[in-house]
Amino acid sequence: MKDHMPSDLIPIQNDMIISFVNYEVRVKLEAKSEAEISGQHADNATFFADQANAVHDIVKNSGFTPVAASAAPDNSAAIAAA
């Protein structure tokens, strides 16, 4: 098992149950029209845009001031000496 590489791909079928240590996943495949899929994509895009805006507003109203990152120190002399 030391050399075992887990697969990200699990072939699924309708009404299949995938069991894990602490939970199970039941697979239910549903046929959807192009309009339903497009509507879900639009709803998802709107939801995540709203979430990003909410986080932006929280940070903006929190008084948090980002600090500019300083440049990395020049270690070339130490590296050359080693």
CB 36 within 8 A of CB 30: no
What does the pLDDT average to over 11-22?
88
What does the pLDDT average to over 19-48?
92
CB 28 within 8 A of CB 14: yes
Give the tens place of pLDDT for each residue, 38-82: 999 999 999 999 998 888 888 888 877 766 666 666 777 777 776
Buried/exposed code over 30-54 (b: 16+ C-beta within 10 A; e: otherwise): eeeeeeeeeeeeeeeeeeeeeeeee
